[in-house]
Amino acid sequence: MTKIEVDLPDRIDSEISRLAEQGEFLNRKEAIEDFLTRGLQAYDVEGDTTTEGEADGDLFTDAIDEQQDPAALDEDMGDEPTF
């Protein structure tokens, strides 16, 4: 396992400590590992890989892909307004 040293602002360090103390994570090490993993996944640095329990795809992109632009529809609506 690789070891790295990171300088964090006090507010982030305090937040990590608070989450660990509240039981959100077993300890600070687990919290930091989880945050780094999520950050890397957000940038999709390893391509399209997901681990067990993760949602497939990107929710933001999926929502936008499902939207349609009415001006881009191929239907011939004529010049008359429709209601």
**pLDDT tens, 50-67?**
555 455 555 555 555 555
Is 75 a member of any domain?
no
Is 36 a member of any domain?
yes
**Distance separating alpha carbons of residues 57 and 38, to the nearest angstrom:** 14
pTM: 0.48
Is 59 a member of any domain?
yes
**Distance separating alpha carbons of residues 5 and 8, to the nearest angstrom:** 10
45 is in which domain, residue-wise? 10-69
Q: 12: which DSSP letter?
A: H
**Distance separating alpha carbons of residues 49 and 46, to the nearest angstrom:** 7
Is 23 a member of any domain?
yes
**Distance separating alpha carbons of residues 81 and 83, to the nearest angstrom:** 7
Is 76 a member of any domain?
no
Number of domains in the chain: 1
End-to-end distance of the chain based on CA atoms, in angstroms?
Answer: 64
Instruction: Supply the pLDDT for residue 16.
Output: 92
**pLDDT tens, 2-41?**
888 989 999 999 999 999 999 989 999 999 999 999 988 8
